Structure 1
């Protein structure tokens, strides 16, 4: 091999090595970049939840009004600054006197994919329980679902337990704002005294995934001895719409400081609905602050 060809071959190997090393380093750096790198660094707090890391987003008051802190807990599977209503309220509430503390919700439950082998198909006369045609196919055994629920609840409780320290710079009342399945989990945990009771609870399109849990939700909500603003939009999950009437019927009657249900004709996918939702929350909070200063 000539000297020129040998030099060219070595140069190619060196270039390849540098490129590979650079690509690896870039990939490692990319993994370290927070998904919230578009936010000020002092707004993103990392906490330990069991053996994993989770993020809490904090925004301070804007202006002279300082009422307290709004703790925000979105639907399962979302992040602490999910686009749409969550991100809008997280920023806009700070202009109404509420610092915002947004926690990362637990992961949502994926629908299992499975296939039944021919030998496992129930045969006539075997006496195995058969689901009615009107019932949805059971996706988890009761035991498996209980484990999933306990894992989700532990994640929420562990995250919430750390908020006292994070919220110290923002004295005043505590308002807890939760949506969809996050709201269902919150109602359940509050009913079991596993979360500290907020001064104000706002639930938006609340529901639980399991039928029996969802049917029990209105009674649990009605029994909470805290002011509740129950917001329902017309594009809420079907399970949420299924209980909206009974949530209102079971709530304390003639107690505007204890429970208020607001039905929104707008879809929460629309920006105009976000503003309407903000005004409903602000108005209810003002009412409660005047009644219980």
Structure 2
């Protein structure tokens, strides 16, 4: 490669990078904002139409709890970039507080005679909720996200074709549970990024249900499992088990990628997008 051609290549790459950054961090236009009503509450939905000659369908994006529909980090990036791959992006605001109990445990609750104390790992704070309270919280928030995704069918009808659900972090653990229990319409592809369920071990064993790895092995749709080195420690610890329990599936039905880059920068987001785009093309068949 000559110096002139190298400079041209670097210039094109730089301009392309700037264009992508401008697209990702641009304010959300009013035309992309919609709302749905879930349990008497208005929930924001952001819809970005496909921006490609190929119109493959729609991707529902669910970020970590306590984030907005526009997302942060990876979800924010995917919302802007997935449409260039032929998928309309439909982003919903995740539930608030999933698996995030109030850690301000009252002093008088720390020790109560006759009550069984919670057993936690040394790195975990003691949550204020007991097993039954946490189970109630989890079930309530599962019903919220179930209602949210179920209401998106009307919005997605404008974008016929295949359906993808991309869920990250603790929201991924929730979506996996709903699909396992057949409470959500099955998409053509499920993408989970750093999935985990925090404090599951606090819930009494008979109410706990199967692990994420076990549930994934029972879900009979194509699954792309993405893990990053900077993901939640529970997700990282369970990544090998997820892969092991799904290894009997064909590569068309389960594939796990360990990202080379962290998901705290645009290069890592792009790496994840490339894996999603490649797997989704095979599912779409075009």
**TM above 0.5:** yes
Residue 134 of structure 1 and its aligned partner are, at CA, apart by 4.9
Does the aligned pair in 1 maintain the 2:170–2:195 contact within 8 Å? yes
CA distance in 1 between partners of 2:264 and 2:70 (Å): 15
CA distance in 1 between partners of 2:266 and 2:47 (Å): 23
Does the aligned pair in 1 maintain the 2:101–2:128 contact within 8 Å? no
Among 256, 260, 274, the residue aligned to 1:265: 260
- Counterpart of 1:203 in structure 2 is 192
Of structures 1 and 2, the larger Rg is shown by: 1
Does the aligned pair in 2 maintain the 1:252–1:258 contact within 8 Å? no
Does the aligned pair in 1 maintain the 2:104–2:128 contact within 8 Å? no
SS of the equivalent of 1:182 reads helix
Residue 84 of structure 1 and its aligned partner are, at CA, apart by 1.4
Residue 240 of structure 1 and its aligned partner are, at CA, apart by 0.4
Distance verdict in 2 for CA 1:132–1:189, change over 3 Å: closer
Residue 216 of structure 1 and its aligned partner are, at CA, apart by 1.1
Among 191, 198, 219, the residue aligned to 2:214: 219
Among 107, 124, 135, the residue aligned to 1:116: 107
Which runs of 5 or more residues in structure 1 are unaligned?
A: 1-36
Residue 38 of structure 1 and its aligned partner are, at CA, apart by 3.8
Which runs of 5 or more residues in structure 2 are unaligned?
A: 1-25, 202-207
CA distance in 1 between partners of 2:250 and 2:263 (Å): 27
- Counterpart of 1:155 in structure 2 is 144
Distance verdict in 2 for CA 1:249–1:138, change over 3 Å: same
2:80 equivalent to 1:87: no
Residue 165 of structure 1 and its aligned partner are, at CA, apart by 0.6
SS of the equivalent of 1:117 reads helix
Distance verdict in 2 for CA 1:65–1:132, change over 3 Å: closer
Does the aligned pair in 2 maintain the 1:69–1:167 contact within 8 Å? yes
- Counterpart of 1:39 in structure 2 is 28
Does the aligned pair in 2 maintain the 1:232–1:263 contact within 8 Å? yes
2:167 equivalent to 1:178: yes
- Counterpart of 2:225 in structure 1 is 230
Moved over 3 A (4+): 126-139, 211-215
Among 119, 129, 134, the residue aligned to 2:116: 129
- Counterpart of 1:27 in structure 2 is none
Does the aligned pair in 1 maintain the 2:188–2:222 contact within 8 Å? yes
TM-score under structure 2 length normalisation: 0.82
> What do the CA deviations read for 1:220-273 (whole angstroms, capped 9, x no partner)?
011100000000000000010111000000004250101000001211001100
Among 228, 238, 246, the residue aligned to 1:251: 246
CA distance in 2 between partners of 1:87 and 1:239 (Å): 23
